[in-house]
Amino acid sequence: MSKKQKKNLFRIIIAAIMLIALHFVKFENRYLELCAYLIPYLIIGYDILRKAFLSIKNREHFDENLLMAIATVGAIALGEYSEGVEVMLFYQIGEWFQSYAVSRSRKNIAALMDIRPDYANIEKDGELVRIDPDEVEIGDIIVVKVGEKIPLDGVVVEGDTSLNTSALTGESKPKDVSVGDDVISGCINMTSPIKVKTTKLFGESTVSKVLDLIENATSNKSKSEDFISKFARYYTPIVVYCAIALAIIPPLFIHFVLHGELDFSTWIFRALTFLVISCPCALVISIPLTFFAGIGGASKAGVLIKGSNYMETLANTRYVAFDKTGTITLGIFEVNSVHNSGFSKEELLEYAAHGEALSTHPIAQSILREYGKPVDKERIRSIKEHAGKGIEAYIDDRHIFIGNEKLMNDNGITIIECPDEGTIVHLAVDGEYKGHIHIGDKIKPTSKQAIAELKKAGVRKTIMLTGDDDKIADKVAEEIGIDEVHSELLPQDKVTKVEELLKQKDEKETLAFIGDGINDAPVIAMADVGIAMGSLGSDAAIEAADIVLMDDDPLKVSKAIKIANKCMRIVRENIIFAIVVKVVTLILSALGLAQMNMAIFSDVGVMIIAVINAIRALGVKNI
């Protein structure tokens, strides 16, 4: 509990004790009674009166502070001293519960995301020295002891250990790492000390990006939040005018039309009760809190949602398009076999490795690993990439084509068909076909279940967009249950295809695209909801995405949609509940059937129930 919350709680207790005591006192003098009740009133309500005065002075739109000030001052002016103090007391009790609930939810989220490292260990003169992570340069060697957080992204250069990645990925299963493995900041070292060579500055590391995403998530507001803000801005002055009308029109109508007694005090009191009930506190407080809690709960599950507007859009997802490599499949390519024709296998791999030497594509890296020798770049005269097809190069003054069937056909080279299923890289030297390399990629263990779970989450159609050939794409799609496949696509073709899909769907439905590579960034940015695989994905894809999956598990896509659905369900529950109770109690107050203290108790009760309901959005474990 903060100092401010303790102070407010103390004020509430003192005012409540004084109010109870005053109920047992009989006052002979009306002015003395007024002064006695003004003491607890000012103790509990001075801050509300101050805020109301400032809103009038600054000509700001009406808010709940002004409504409460008008209602309570009006009640006291009518001689209902106890009622005026009770209303302010109940209102402050509600405000305190709301403040406490919000601070608890913020602390819960902060605890869930407590991944910011306080220091990094650098070895100097045989001793470990703690320094600020911001001071560590790329290429420095840091020591991570057991129980410590990894402060920066890097590569293990000494030691083997297990890492607790749950704060980032939501997965409780430890991750084993050894020399040569990449590690990301924010993970906790569990079993033995390791040395890590840093590959990024602290400001660019995973932990910094994650914290930045979460801290900025509340700046992107949803349509529901915008609606509630606008609703409160127009609703509050409207109810003030309605209250004025309620105080003036009925008594005048009764007196002049029905020839009854002119009784302004009764109707003014009803109008003041009407004002108390009309406060939109439950809506204004609970809706943003629901989204805040939902984003925090999703973060704990390893799903980073960059704003509540994306949460709302995600809940309407009915179409999901996937990239294949690195998203549905592991993206870890291995050479399965080498089929030579006119070259030895060693020569085939040698020319292929030199042709792919400057490429960072996973397929190129698999060929380089299989070659297993240093590449002599002096032998490479020139390299030209043909997008979506392969590479043309001059090596040792020999003209090389290395790539897929399209590249060979474009250059009039007859290939030998490969019966194996997978990625086939063909090689031609000086216009003659020399063989091909069969490269395989494995489907992720959770991909099939991910598609099934998406169907359960309300997704109507799943689509795969890939640059691979028809056979490979169709086989993967059939194995995991993808509804629609578009293969042999160049990066620009994926953009065109997503444009087509966006035109086909209904306006209220949304299309999500999930990818991991730099080539996916334009498509991720174009989709209604762009989702990036964060752990292995490129920085460009993560930057363009609206949602980031921290452990590259496609199963998290359905989890993200279910979290969004739960969040929106709670939002709708709170809106309907608050509005229904408001309408009923406003009618009762206008008819004189709801007293002021009953009205404020009802209003505070609605707010507390709505806040408690909103905090349920934090719970995403069993989704």
Number of domains the chain is built from? 5
| 289 is a domain residue | no
Same domain, 456 and 547: yes
Higher pLDDT, 64 or 149: 149
Same domain, 450 and 426: no
Instruction: Return the pLDDT at 210.
Output: 65
What range does the domain containing 173 cover?
Answer: 120-215
Contact call for residues 363 and 423 (beta carbons, < 8 A) = yes
Instruction: Return the pLDDT at 453.
Output: 94
Mean pLDDT lowest for which of 98-107, 289-298, 490-499? 98-107
| 254 is a domain residue | yes
Which stretches of 392-431 are DSSP H helices? 405-410
- Residue 442: HSE in the Cβ half-sphere, 13 Å Cα cutoff: 8
pLDDT at residue 217 is higher than 60: no
Q: Closest Cα partner for 401 from 368, 458, 356, 466? A: 356
Same domain, 399 and 449: no
For residue 384, what are its two tokens?
A: 């030209």
| 586 is a domain residue | no
Instruction: Return the pLDDT at 232.
Output: 64
Percent of the chain whose predicted confidence (pLDDT) is above 90 = 21
Burial string for 140-162 (b: 16+ CB within 10 Å, else e) reads bebbbeeebbbbbbbebeebebb
| 610 is a domain residue | no
> Alpha-carbon distance 309 to 291, whole Å?
9
Same domain, 208 and 233: no
8-state DSSP, 329? B
Same domain, 359 and 499: no
Instruction: Return the pLDDT at 17.
Output: 93
Same domain, 434 and 311: no
What's the predicted TM-score (pTM) here?
0.67
- What confidence category does residue 484 fall into, taking pLDDT thresholds of 50, 70 and 90? very high
8-state DSSP, 558? H
Catalytically annotated residues = 323
- What confidence category does residue 168 fall into, taking pLDDT thresholds of 50, 70 and 90? low
> Alpha-carbon distance 569 to 564, whole Å?
8
Same domain, 467 and 324: yes
Distances (CA, A) of 329 to 111, 170, 249, 376: 33, 21, 72, 32
| 347 is a domain residue | yes
Residue where one domain finishes, among candidates 531, 561, 591: 561
pLDDT at residue 89 is higher than 90: no
Contact call for residues 462 and 482 (beta carbons, < 8 A) = yes
Same domain, 520 and 531: yes
pLDDT in tens, 108-144: 555 555 566 778 998 887 788 888 888 888 988 999 9
| 296 is a domain residue | no
Instruction: Return the pLDDT at 532.
Output: 84
Higher pLDDT, 298 or 217: 298
Mean pLDDT lowest for which of 206-220, 252-266, 563-577? 206-220
Q: CATH number, domain at 312?
A: 3.40.50.1000
| 287 is a domain residue | no
Q: What is the mean predicted confidence (pLDDT) over 58-65? A: 70
Point out which residues pair with 463 in neighbouring strands. Answer: 321, 484
Q: Closest Cα partner for 168 from 113, 120, 118? A: 113
Same domain, 326 and 361: no
pLDDT in tens, 542-587: 677 788 887 778 999 999 999 999 999 998 998 888 888 878 888 8
> Alpha-carbon distance 412 to 359, whole Å?
24
Same domain, 323 and 467: yes
Instruction: Return the pLDDT at 38.
Output: 94
Contact call for residues 246 and 334 (beta carbons, < 8 A) = no
- What confidence category does residue 310 fall into, taking pLDDT thresholds of 50, 70 and 90? confident
pLDDT at residue 448 is higher than 90: yes
Which stretches of 29-138 are DSSP H helices? 30-57, 64-77, 81-112
Hey, which bits of 346-431 come out as E strands? 380-386, 390-395, 398-403, 423-429
Instruction: Return the pLDDT at 520.
Output: 76
| 77 is a domain residue | yes
Residue where one domain finishes, among candidates 112, 135, 167: 112
Same domain, 175 and 237: no
Same domain, 174 and 194: yes
Higher pLDDT, 605 or 215: 605
Q: CATH number, domain at 369?
A: 3.40.1110.10
